Structure 1
Amino acid sequence: MAPQLKLRELKPGFGAEILDVDLTTADNETLDAVVDTFNQRGAILLRGQEMEPDDLMSFISRFGQPEGHTQKQFTLPGYPEIFILSNREVDGKPIGAHNDGVGWHTDYSYKEEPVKCTMLYAKEVPPEGSDTLLADQCAAYNALSEERKAELDGLKLHHSYQHLMSTREFGRMELSEEMKAANPDVIHPLIRTHPANGRKALWVSTGTVKEIVGMPNPEGLELVDELVDFVTRDEFVHRHKWQVGDILMWDNRCTLHTGTVYDDTKYYRLMHRLWVKGDKPY
């Protein structure tokens, strides 16, 4: 019989903080219940964790096969699936990506099979700023009128890694031919069905989206912006304020997220990010 976890909603109808579970000592039944909670709730939070890299890899593997990273230079030595987010430098060189993930998006949306989930583990956090915001795209879809749902159903988005890297606010980059070949443009549905629970999500994003297929710009991108504005209204958004030892995981199949900036002249931040391989959106 599966154990009953002690839960607290992150916001009404979305996400769960899982209380009184130590991920390094929990038994298999408890960890299975953690995974099930994630699949049903869209996001989970566990505070006060003390995780070594091997612990992170063991835990993330319960959700599926860990996914690698497009950018390799900031992965943890010996752990290519653990990516470092930080503004710290060693010998004058950055140890991690800084201001990565600022702007509403879903991770790896420019891939044929975007990542299933994202996990962040907080090792060092500023006392202010650097919050992570999660938007519940299922709640946003459910809030649409039936007429609006019908208008949007069947629309497809053109996602492009090359477009993202050439237009992003922080650290624009011209891709090598090898990187372009490894990350070709993809087409994904605007309305996505969750494979684990059948719920529909208004699966819009920014950064990677180049156009709505069959709709001329700027009309298409204006519609994308309108939908992002809708999905990210306060009623659909949870703001996470970080503490050291937090593990926050969100389901990229039904959420939108963004990082926020902080005063990097006063504070340091250090996070470990892990991903799980996903499936083709439908």
Structure 2
Amino acid sequence: MDIVTRSDGRRGVEVHGFDPVAATVDDLARLRQHLYHDKIVVLRAQTLAPEQFIALGREFGTPAAYYEPMYHHPEHELIFVSSNRQSEIGQVGVPKTGAFWHSDYQFMPDPFAVTLFYPQRLPSESRGTYFIDMAVAYERLSPRLRDAIEGTYCRHSARRYVKIRPSDVYRPLEDVIAEVERKTPAQRQPTVLTHPVTGERILYVAEAFTYEIEDASGNPLPKSLIDELLSESGQLDPTFEHPNIFLQGYEPGDLVMWDNRTLIHRALHNPTGEPAESFRVTVHDEHPLSAEVYA
């Protein structure tokens, strides 16, 4: 196994010659360290069956099935499928997922720690994911904004981007909205997390899910404060040229893992309609979302 730190301006590390069957305890420990400290780990030239993909996820934590079954792989519920592919049994997974800035499960009580992303079919163009390192975003905030958010909390909800399920057809919209609010009530998290492994301070705000900021007593603060944070971090830049934004491209056989606490991401969708399909396994690790005291 050869781990290469990128030197061409791209983020993270590339791993060549990784075999999940032959990987030692030390190999996996090295990958975990790189995952937390370098944020992105790209395993090149992988050919994993779904069972092997899930097994690899278990080396980084406890995989969890997405809460909506329509995203599940037809034979493996722990695999989330984004796909525009039709099979003999109908639509496989859900097309055009994640076209907004977010962290996986940010709207749930226990957000995921690590995301493993494994493309299965790639279009000829526009294949990749945009990322923003929110620890870097926090470091780049002005002293005024840092002071303004110290000790504050944000509320996160999925309500803006919930997709209509086949079972929702012909249901009153009011009933659908009420079910969304019941199944995924808004969650309150610190505006600034402390990474439990690296100790980095992370701005935990995302365009897709963050809708309110409040002080420690629960008093709402101006919405303009969220807008400033989103703008400063790069999430409101429609050109994707903000210095905080970087693009992770994909080649056949790539398996990409990232630190879901620190990185937010946004899918790059292909406009051609070519067949595209990706598998995702998301895991909880043994650490809390945030820790003020860390090793």
Q: CA deviation at 1:235?
A: 2.7
Q: Report the equivalent of 1:223.
A: 228
2:271 aligned with 1:274: no
Q: Report the equivalent of 1:186.
A: 187
Q: Report the equivalent of 2:155.
A: 158
Q: What's the TM-score once normalised by structure 1's chain length?
A: 0.86
Structure 1 residues 51-66: aligned runs within 5 Å: 51-66=48-63
In the alignment, is the contact (CA less than 8 A) between 1:24 and 1:51 conserved in 2?
Answer: no
More deviation, 182-191/140-149: 140-149
Q: Report the equivalent of 2:102.
A: 105
Q: CA deviation at 1:176?
A: 6.5
Q: CA deviation at 1:74?
A: 2.9
Q: Report the equivalent of 1:88.
A: 85
2:25 aligned with 1:25: no
Write the distance in 2 (CA, Å) between the matches of 1:264 and 1:143. Answer: 37
| Runs of 4+, deviation exceeding 6 Å | none
2:237 aligned with 1:238: no
In the alignment, is the contact (CA less than 8 A) between 1:134 and 1:256 conserved in 2?
Answer: yes
Q: Report the equivalent of 2:269.
A: 261
2:128 aligned with 1:121: no
Residue type of the alignment partner of 2:209: T
Q: What's the TM-score once normalised by structure 2's chain length?
A: 0.82
Write the distance in 2 (CA, Å) between the matches of 1:127 and 1:281. Answer: 39
5+ residue gaps in structure 1?
none
Residue 138 of structure 2 aligns to a residue in which SS?
Answer: helix
Write the distance in 1 (CA, Å) between the matches of 2:199 and 2:10. Answer: 16
RMSD, matched Cα: 2.8
Residue type of the alignment partner of 2:36: N
Aligned in 2, Cα 1:84/1:47: closer, same or farther, shift over 3 Å?
A: same
Q: Report the equivalent of 1:204.
A: 205
More deviation, 152-161/20-29: 20-29
In the alignment, is the contact (CA less than 8 A) between 1:87 and 1:97 conserved in 2?
Answer: yes
Residue 103 of structure 2 aligns to a residue in which SS?
Answer: coil
Q: CA deviation at 1:143?
A: 2.1
Q: CA deviation at 1:261?
A: 1.5
Write the distance in 2 (CA, Å) between the matches of 1:10 and 1:160. Answer: 37
Write the distance in 1 (CA, Å) between the matches of 2:231 and 2:122. Answer: 32
Q: CA deviation at 1:97?
A: 1.2
In the alignment, is the contact (CA less than 8 A) between 2:234 and 2:242 conserved in 1?
Answer: no
Aligned in 2, Cα 1:224/1:110: closer, same or farther, shift over 3 Å?
A: same
Aligned in 2, Cα 1:218/1:176: closer, same or farther, shift over 3 Å?
A: closer
Residue type of the alignment partner of 1:263: P
More deviation, 147-156/103-112: 147-156
Q: Report the equivalent of 2:260.
A: 252
In the alignment, is the contact (CA less than 8 A) between 1:86 and 1:271 conserved in 2?
Answer: yes
Aligned in 2, Cα 1:230/1:102: closer, same or farther, shift over 3 Å?
A: closer
Q: What per-residue deviation string (whole Å, max 9, x for no partner) do you get for residues 222-244 of structure 1?
A: 33432442797643232111112
5+ residue gaps in structure 2?
none
Q: What per-residue deviation string (whole Å, max 9, x for no partner) do you get for residues 34-75 of structure 1?
A: 122112211111111011112111111111110110221231
Please point out which of 31, 40, 47 is paired with 1:43. 40
More deviation, 17-26/268-277: 17-26
More deviation, 214-223/131-140: 214-223
In the alignment, is the contact (CA less than 8 A) between 1:191 and 1:203 conserved in 2?
Answer: yes
Write the distance in 2 (CA, Å) between the matches of 1:199 and 1:136. Answer: 11
In the alignment, is the contact (CA less than 8 A) between 1:163 and 1:210 conserved in 2?
Answer: no
In the alignment, is the contact (CA less than 8 A) between 2:195 and 2:289 conserved in 1?
Answer: no
Write the distance in 2 (CA, Å) between the matches of 1:229 and 1:107. Answer: 18
Aligned in 2, Cα 1:10/1:98: closer, same or farther, shift over 3 Å?
A: farther
More deviation, 134-143/215-224: 215-224
Q: What per-residue deviation string (whole Å, max 9, x for no partner) do you get for residues 159-212 of structure 1?
A: 112344289xxx9x8746555333211111121110111111122101212212
In the alignment of these two chains, the number of paired residues is 275
Residue type of the alignment partner of 1:47: R
